[in-house]
Amino acid sequence: MTDAERTSLHVIILAAGQGTRMRSALPKVLHALAGRPLLQHVVETASRLNPAGIHVVHGHGGETVRTALSGASVTWVEQSEQLGTGHAVQQALPAIPDEALVLILYGDVPLVRADTMAELVAAVDDGPAVLTVNLPDPSGYGRIVRDEQGFVERIVEHKDAAPGELALHETNTGLLAAYAGRLRTWLQRCSNDNAQGEYYLTDVVALARGDGCRVRAARASDPAEVAGVNDRVQLQAAERAYQHRQAETLMRDGLALMDAGRFDLRGELSFGRDCSIDIGVVMEGRVVLGADVRIGAYTVLKDVVIDDGARIDCHCVLEQARVGRNARVGPYARLRPGAELQEDARAGNFVEIKQAVIGPGSKVNHLSYIGNAVLGGDVNVGAGTITCNYDGVAKHRTTIGDGAFIGSGTQLVAPVTVAPGSVLGAGTVLTRDTEADSLTITRAPQKSVPGWARRRR
């Protein structure tokens, strides 16, 4: 597509359908695919064509749709009455100049590639261009009937097709492109004399042919690309198709996926060389992996940065966290927002870290909570340790110096500082700062009552 064509291109996205088969209070086009609304996928892909405008036609009560995509650069158009696809396009046309090219998309057809959209626009002649696809089983779909020159002669609905037409496998997807002025004229001549009493966009093909115009077709290579989403079964199929597409691209770029069918990317992923991801991993937001990173099975990563050589074992959840070079996390660990493991640090099984820095070489190996804390280098935190950072009103910080040893079952009542080299005995409840290289123990005296157990029984 030339720059001139791009600057004169307008995109209309039809998103006014009720979506009753979803059986949901949420508008159909807002149901999530890979973590984002169906409509958002269509808008983002259309934006890659750099159109002069994107016009989204929504139904009555579309405030929810507009709010969900409030950051999108689109013009919102209301279709107050649901009178068909042709009528919906008419609502957007007044804002589009006659000489502009118009590309018509659907908010519930989310997987159409930008290249396919561009091919459809480039196919526009004096008549409209339609997007078609070959289906192994075209039952129920409108067939594309071509003339001897290969132009589209008509679109025949399945129920109206003759035996020879039923044998055709090229079907109509509903996507169409045309010059705005001609499209406006054809739509004005459309009739709603049909069983549904609606104005169909596809009728412009017959009207254009009747005017002697050439109707060309662009063809989608993959049926999944043009599949609509009308119920939750189709939504799940679209999800798997989208994830498979992403997985193939990532693997070709060098990412090792143990099973592409059990991988979900719901955002953006960048990675270095020789990274591998086990089964059941879910990535959300922006995830950055360095080189030689290993992600274990059934781990969730959301907006995280993981540096070279780090290992994330199975069943971990990391959100808005950073894992340093050669650090190790898990299994069954949770890194909450603000957690940072520096080089060679370790957060082991059933450890939770939030708003805390674990210094280089430090270890929090099991069954501990570290929140609002700064740990220096080579700190050892024993099992069952808790930073008591919240007093019911405010959060307070715990600081642990280099080389400190925190015994198992310790509670550090913030604000408190453990000096470098300090040792806290197991079971200590620390409420005051320690001195460097000291031993601190807080325990009740041990007492035994002879014979008590025997009398009790």
**Which sequence positions are flagged as catalytic?**
366
| Residues 299/316, Cβ–Cβ less than 8 Å | yes
Token couple for 403: 């080389």
Distances (CA, A) of 261 to 142, 183, 227, 278: 32, 42, 19, 11
Q: What does the alpha-carbon distance between residue 143 and residue 170 come to, in Å, rounded to a whole number? A: 6
Helix axes 85-92, 180-188, angle to 10 degrees: 130
Instruction: Sort strands 294-295 and 317-319 into parallel, antiparallel or unpaired.
Output: unpaired
**Which residues are CB-neighbours of 413 under 8 A, at least 6 positions away?**
388, 429, 430, 431
* Tokens describing residue 217: 């077709």
CB burial of residue 343 (10 Å; 0-12, 13-18, 19+): middle
d(CA 402, CA 378): 6
Bridge-based pairing of strands 170-179 and 101-106 is antiparallel
Q: Tell me the sheet residues that pair with 440.
A: 424
Helix (H, G, I), strand (E, B) or coil at 360: coil
Please list the residues that pair with 145 across neighbouring strands: 154
Distance CA 110, CA 230 (A): 12
Q: What is the dihedral of CA 111, 92, 131, 169, to 10 degrees?
A: 90
Written as six digits, the tokens of 174 are 């509903």
